[in-house]
Amino acid sequence: MAFEGSCHCGAVTYTVEGDIPGTAMSCNCSHCRRKGFLLAFVPLDSFRLETGAEKLNSYQFHKHNIDHQFCIDCGCQGFAVGTGPDGSKMAAVNLRCVPNADLDALQIQKVDGASF
């Protein structure tokens, strides 16, 4: 099974192979806190950008380990790509950009990113 997500204007769309995760990470770092992300990490090979590659811009901060991708038209950040602690390539999917995700049913894992 797969699930889909997009930016607000719909220019950037993606598909993730697998079920919608039941757990999301809520980080209190300066970036995530301001954006209100609910992130689920998936192997990069299960993530597929469908449309809008030309509409994406990137933002990096702190250690530059995560490439935060956002739509240049609407500013929405549906995902990021980076490297996990074990060295594997990952996509961080913003579940707030997945219309079929039941956000109220998610188990939220709080991460103290402000202390990194």
pLDDT for the residue 20 = 97
* Res. 31: pLDDT tops 90: no
Nearest alpha carbon to residue 31 among 82, 74, 67: 67
33-92: per-residue pLDDT in tens?
999 999 999 999 999 999 999 999 997 776 667 899 999 999 999 999 998 888 899 999
pLDDT for the residue 65 = 74
Topology (CATH level 3) of domain 2-115:
2.170.150
* Res. 32: pLDDT tops 90: no
- Name which of 5-19, 58-72, 95-109 the model is least confident about: 58-72
- Residue 104 Ramachandran class (φ > 0 left, ψ -120 to 50 alpha, else beta): alpha
Residue extents of the structural domains in the chain = 2-115
